[in-house]
A and B are shown apart, each in its own frame.
Chain A
Amino acid sequence: MTERLEDFSLSRKVKTRGSLHKVGIVGAGAMGQEIALVVSQAGLDVVYIDISEERIGEINARLGRLLDEIISKWGMTQNEKKLILSRIRGSVDYHDIFDCNVIIETINTKKRGTNLDLRKEVFKKIEQAVHPEAVILSNTATLMISDIAAVLKHPERAMGMHFISPVRKVKIVEIVRTFNTSEATINCVLKFAQLIGKTPINCGESPGNVTTRMIVPIINEACELIMEGVATVSDVDLAMREGYGLQFGPFEMADRIGLDKVLKWMDNLYDEFGELKYKPSPLIKRMVRANLVGKRVGEGFYKYADDKKIAKPGSIRNLGRA
């Protein structure tokens, strides 16, 4: 018989506590990848689920590149990179999350409109794969967790956990309990947040929580300013950065988030609240249709080349192009 450390416990009082070891991430897009890296860096194992073996190959390569970027900016060592990657595994099979203690749904689609049904379907598949104590979380910013969790046999295990990019730098995470969420689930999520070094912002269930709901009207209002010709894109950003000590101005922020995502948030908030302040600015809609969705594609309110931001010279009628 192999020896177990537990056999040497002095008082035999030390019990193996149901602790957090393994985290499942369903949907390894940009956000899922960032979360995977942060969770793994905290020493937890990560299994992520994505749609094809080909995607998994791409994702693994991208995870390596993301860490290389951090290393090139002195934030980490090669050894730490090796350790972090060794704890992350990709799979196309939901069964591989069977032993995860926490599963985070982080799917995204490029399609316009809500992906509530897709998230529901994912929640259902997760519940079928995991053990009864596992906690199921959604990273949605604007959808209601209760709506997604309605498909679960045990909705008390569901919560919202909304990360903000760049996950590595942002020290907070919004956690959302529903009316049905159990104390055990809340405790597990609080412990998880602590393990990955994030301060939880407790939010009641409401679309957009704090961060998304605040940023959406600011971006909308910023669009109004430039459509009225009050100030230029760069001046609005400069004024907000310097005037209020913000790290990014509203347009820089929108470009970083991705205008397609911003639009989705606006749609969802407008649907839920019916208030004009959340109604997507026509400018945002035009830009999304033109696929000028921000940093990710190299152009949004600004142009991006070699990681540098360049102001666009043209008029707003021409979406900034000369």
Chain B
Amino acid sequence: MPSREVLAKGLVDKIGLKGSMIKHWRSDGTEMKLEGEILDHLTGIEYFLGILVSEKYGSIKDIREIDAIGHRVVHAGEKFASSVAITPEVVEALEECIDLAPLHNPPNLEGIYAATNLLPGIPQAGVFDTAFHQTMEDYVYLYGIPYSLYDKYRIRRYGFHGSSHKYVSHRACEMLGLDYNNTKMITCHLGNGASIAAIRDGKSFDTSMGMTPIEGLIMGTRCGDLDTGAFMHILNKEEVDISTGNILINKHSGMLGISGISSDMRDIEKAAHEGNKRAETALKMYAYRVKKYIGAYAAGMGGVDLIIFTGGVGENDVETRKNVMTNMEYLGIDFDFEKNEGLRATEAVLTREGSKVKVLIVPTNEELVIAQDTYDIVTG
């Protein structure tokens, strides 16, 4: 890609609801926020493009200056293992995946319909959260349930945050001058949603999120790994239905549910420092779950060369990194606890010189992956 400059970024919020609005930011720091009626995605994108070419807030003069559009799509099922050019066939394939992500895929598709409608003839690319993990082997992605359910409904591990895991792993190899295809990596994307991936031979080998983004690590309000037997027992005891159960594990659980304080790591750490036991336990649980996955993935891959922290918590939370990295010498990690202090949202190596396994912070940049993939696809 010739230039990596961000001209503008923006957000369309609360589509179809009262108080729908557009936030827009331009590279010179000009910001705007306007409320108005945005009933659907087409309208939202239309306004966004209007702002992009406007005299006051715009970054380009004419809509025809746009050469390509990249879409982030959450779930592509088993259909796509990499980013692709959007064609009618691709759209059709994505429509078939709605079942797998009923909350996320329909709006993603709306975005594609809207762009097709407003910028006809301009090439578009789809970048999928699941695509990077399509390299997992069957013994890794299958669940221990009747195989017929995989045949019938494609029930399996898909994994998410693909663009992020891909970006930070590539970037880490670039930083250290390592061969991507010959480096074993564990990438920890710790944000409000959190997942961890094992990358070997230049491919995603395993990842903690499953068919849905609920599995794996403990997250802000999601429970992560949970005994399905316990879940059924809860539904029974609390006399709630499946949809309420879904809210329970998605919104009431995780760090919020355990601590009873907040889903925000900073609030929980503050409470723990003030002696709140549950906050303390929550922090221990969070770090332990990450640690457990690192151990499992190191075993799964037969070793590890790099461990990478990214995402809001991974990039900024000194304490979480410290807790995860305590007592990890056995794995060949010589973690520099002093250096770790005070490092936030910056690329850095956190292990001492000579550490067999290197630990890094690499701030993620999913937008850049989408832009890069889109560029690669449209320039063929």
Contacts from A to B (Cβ < 8 Å) = 3-6, 8-11, 13-14, 16-17, 19, 21, 43-45, 73-77, 87
> Contacts of A5 on B, CB cut-off 8 Å?
21-22, 34-38, 47
Closest 4 CB pairs of A and B: A5-B36, A8-B50, A43-B17, A74-B248
A12's nearest neighbour on chain B, judged by CB, is B50
A interface, over-half SS: loop
Distance of A50 Cα from B263 Cα, bound (Å) = 39
Within 8 A of A (CB), among B224-259: 238-240, 244-245, 247-248, 251-252
B47 touches A10 (CB 8 A): yes
Given A9-B50, A44-B18, A45-B18: A16 in contact with B37 (beta carbons within 8 A): yes
Checking B21, B46, B240 against A9 with a beta-carbon cut-off of 8 angstroms, the contacting residue is B46
Give Cα A322–Cα B277 distance, bound, in whole angstroms.
Answer: 52
Bound Cα distance A11, B120 (Å): 14
Residues of A within 8 A of B37 (CB): 5-6, 16-17, 19
Contacts of A75 in B (CB 8 A): 240, 244, 247
Known contacts A4-B36, A16-B37; is-contact A73 B47 (Cβ 8 Å): no
Task: Tally B residues with Cβ within 8 Å of A.
Answer: 32
Contact present for A74 and B244 (CB under 8 Å) = yes
**Can you list 23 A-B pairs with a CB-CB distance of less than 8 A?**
A3-B32, A5-B22, A5-B38, A5-B47, A8-B47, A9-B46, A9-B47, A10-B53, A11-B118, A16-B37, A17-B37, A17-B39, A43-B16, A43-B17, A45-B18, A74-B240, A74-B245, A74-B247, A75-B240, A75-B244, A76-B247, A77-B247, A77-B252
Q: Which residues of A contact B251 (CB under 8 A)?
A: 77
- What is the minimal beta-carbon distance from B159 to any residue of chain A, in angstroms? 26
Smallest Cβ-Cβ distance to B246: which chain A residue: A74
Task: Report which residue of A5, A17, A21, A87 has the largest number of chain B beta carbons within 10 angstroms of its beta carbon.
Answer: A5
B238 lies within 8 A of A10 (CB): no
Residue of A nearest to B57 (CB): A8
Contacts of A13 in B (CB 8 A): 46
Taking CB atoms, residues of chain A closer than 8 Å to B47 are 5, 8-10, 14
Bound form: Cα–Cα A206–B97 in Å: 42
- Give A111 to B36 CA distance when docked, in angstroms: 46
Partner of A4, one of B18, B34, B51, B245: B34
> In the bound complex, what is the Cα–Cα distance between A41 and B248 (angstroms)?
18
Q: Which of A6, A73, A87 contacts B18 (CB 8 A)?
A: A87
Known: A10-B49, A11-B46, A14-B47. A73 touches B244 (CB 8 A): yes
Q: Give the tally of cross-chain contacts (CB within 8 A).
A: 66
Chain A residues near B238 (CB-CB < 8 A)? 73-74
In the complex, what distance in Å separates the CA atom of A4 from the CA atom of B53?
Answer: 16
A5 to B21, CA, bound (A): 8
Q: How far is the CA of A315 from the CA of B32 in the complex (A)?
A: 73
Which residues in A have their C-beta under 8 angstroms from that of B46?
9-11, 13-14
Scoring B residues 32 to 66 as 1 if CB is less than 8 Å from chain A, else 0, what string do you get?
Answer: 10111111000100110111011000000001000
Nearest-neighbor residue (CB-CB) of B249 within chain A? A74
Set of chain B residues within 8 Å of A17, measured between Cβ atoms: 37, 39
User: Who on chain B is nearest to A8 by CB?
Assistant: B50
Q: Enumerate chain B residues within 8 angstroms of A19, measured Cβ to Cβ.
A: 37, 39
Which chain A residues lie closer than 8 Å to B244 at the CB level? 73-75
A10 touches B34 (CB 8 A): no
Q: Which residues B139-183 have CB closer than 8 A to chain A?
A: none
> Residue of B at shortest CB range from A4?
B36
Is A6 a contact partner of B36 (Cβ separation < 8 A)? yes
Q: How far is the CA of A74 from the CA of B223 in the complex (A)?
A: 14
Report A67 CB to chain B, min CB distance, Å. 13
Which residues from chain A contact B248 at a C-beta distance below 8 Å?
74
CB distance from A4 to the nearest CB of B (A): 6
Q: CA of A43 to CA of B13 in the docked complex: distance in angstroms?
A: 13
Q: Are the CB atoms of A8 and B54 closer together than 8 Å? A: yes
The winner among A6, A14, A74 for most chain B CB atoms within 10 A is: A74
